[in-house]
Amino acid sequence: MAETETESITTSSPPAISETENSTTLPTTETEKNPNPVTISLRIWPPTQKTRDAVINRLIETLSTESILSKRFGSLESEEASSVAKSIEDEAYAVASATVFGDDDGIEILKAYSKEISKRMLESVKAKNNVASPPPKDGDGIESAVDSKIDSSEA
């Protein structure tokens, strides 16, 4: 028979963690020195100029290239899209800034800003579309089946 070697493996338990190392609160000495712990505040309003510029660039892209809006309403030339995008963002920023909400971090103001941008972008492309094409004959652009039958029976 062949001899087999056996290795002995020794395991040790992890070092014990003291109560203060496991605690999520500050040690007593720190709280005595500073009774008001530092809190981090994150504010998202007002947006930085870099963020506002990114919004304008995205608006220009949406208004001047193929998008869901352009498929339905058509697209704008780059120069026109640029001026429209700037005015949309400026107006939305002004409306949102004038809006007063009680929250400290600006979430509700940011929502108002976003809604204003969406509303104004849609209004802009609809207005451009109405100028570019004459109004439909019967008000909604769809001939009813009854009108078609009447016209064909008169002929």
Confidence band of 134 (pLDDT split at 50, 70, 90): low
Parent domain of 103? 49-131
Question: What predicted TM-score, i.e. pTM, was given to this entire model?
Answer: 0.59
pLDDT digits (tens, 9 = 90+) for 81-128: 999 999 999 999 999 988 877 766 788 899 999 999 999 999 999 988
CB atoms within 10 A of CB 144: 10
Number of domains in the chain: 1
**pLDDT at 32 exceeding the cut of 90:** no
Question: Which whole number is the average pLDDT over 23-52?
Answer: 70
CATH code of the domain in which 124 resides: 1.10.246.200
pLDDT at 144 (0 to 100): 41
Rounded CA separation 115/36 (Å):
38
Q: Work out the percent of the chain whose per-residue pLDDT is above 70.
A: 57
**pLDDT at 19 exceeding the cut of 70:** no
**Does residue 24 belong to any structural domain of this protein?**
no
Whether cis (ω within 30° of 0) applies to the bond prior to 46 is: yes
Question: Which whole number is the average pLDDT over 34-46?
Answer: 75
Tell me the Ramachandran region of residue 128: left when phi exceeds 0, alpha when psi lies from -120 to 50, beta otherwise: alpha
Nearest to 113 by CA among 27, 45, 65, 32: 45
**Does residue 86 belong to any structural domain of this protein?**
yes
Total residue length of the chain: 155
**Does residue 139 belong to any structural domain of this protein?**
no
pLDDT-wise least confident of 4-13, 42-51, 55-64, 107-116: 4-13
**pLDDT at 58 exceeding the cut of 90:** yes
